[in-house]
Amino acid sequence: MREGSAVPVQVPALLSGAPPREAGAPGPRAWGADPPPAVPGAGADPASSPATLDALRALVRSPARAASPAGRLLLGAPLDAALGGGLPRGALHEVHGGAPGAHGVLLGFAAALAGALVGGLAGGLGGPVLWVRQDMSVREGGRLHAPGCAELGLDPDRIVLVEAADAAGVLRAAEDGLRQAGAGVVIAEPWGAARVLDLTATRRLALRAAERGALALLLRPGAEPEPSAAATRWHVAPAGSASPLPFGLGAPAFALELARNRFGPTGRWIVEFDADARRFGPLAPGAAPSGRGAAAARHRPAGDHGAPARRAAS
């Protein structure tokens, strides 16, 4: 995982324990260690400094992935059916936490989507994942956990992590990343309600994503849904995992609501994520759900499990 404060820097794979390696700037630091040295001329918002943007351009410009036409990311049944064949790339997708304290599952869902695109079995693109977080979101939701990202199918070494002081800085860095040909996935994570995150701002993100065929994710922890140019809007909450044993540990499970969908019907599903196949699917038949959310998931109406519930409004 590569983290940026004043300047994005490259760090070793956290799971291997290898020593830090140079990345064109002196004194790189591993994730979680002391911050990198200050850069002359860097302002209060590191994401907006010229040095940061130049380094960001260099990091996301990857020879492994040239600009490609927009396609679709296969998520697995039944999600693909509602989306008309998979989650469209070259579009902006908005993700909200479906319940108070759901910041962790919000990050997990984004990591699963990013891992499925850059390293999935069906046409994995490779290349980096640019993740831009507002510092308040880091304080409220915690830092990304490299082993946890790996468990969800996202190689931590693919992550270029940038922190910005405010929502405006998040948007500037994300839009700049989407301009680059090597940007396969760009994740913007401002915190709470932000006046700068209006319909015009989301239209810019959507247009940049369409130009490069990139997958743009807008995470909205601590915010209520507002008008946006997002092609889809998801509400994500934790669900009880399923295991063949009563007290076993099952695969990560999510309660998903597709509340807005420009490509087909909306709906609600309880799904688990297979990190090896990088696909979502219904809870394993005959498995014993574990956790406090299991009973609620098991007794929801049938329409909340598989079949889409309604047609999305424009």
More confident residue, 151 or 181: 151
Q: Examine the pLDDT at 125 and tell me if it is beyond 80.
A: no
CB 138 within 8 A of CB 163: yes
What pLDDT score does 243 carry?
72
Q: Examine the pLDDT at 33 and tell me if it is beyond 60.
A: no
Q: Examine the pLDDT at 36 and tell me if it is beyond 60.
A: no
% of the chain with per-residue pLDDT over 70: 63
What pLDDT score does 232 carry?
96
Structure tokens at 8: 């994005």
Taking the C-alpha atoms of residue 270 and residue 252, their distance in angstroms, rounded to an integer, is: 11
Q: By C-alpha distance, which of 195, 221, 218, 197 is closest to 140? A: 221
% of the chain with per-residue pLDDT over 90: 42
Highest mean pLDDT among 32-46, 152-166, 278-292: 152-166
pTM above 0.85, yes or no: no
For 261, phi then psi, to 5°, come to: -150, 110
Highest mean pLDDT among 64-78, 108-122, 279-293: 108-122
Taking the C-alpha atoms of residue 227 and residue 78, their distance in angstroms, rounded to an integer, is: 27
For 268, phi then psi, to 5°, come to: -135, 140
Q: How confident is the model at residue 43 (pLDDT cuts 50, 70, 90)?
A: very low
Q: What SS3 state is found at 174?
A: helix
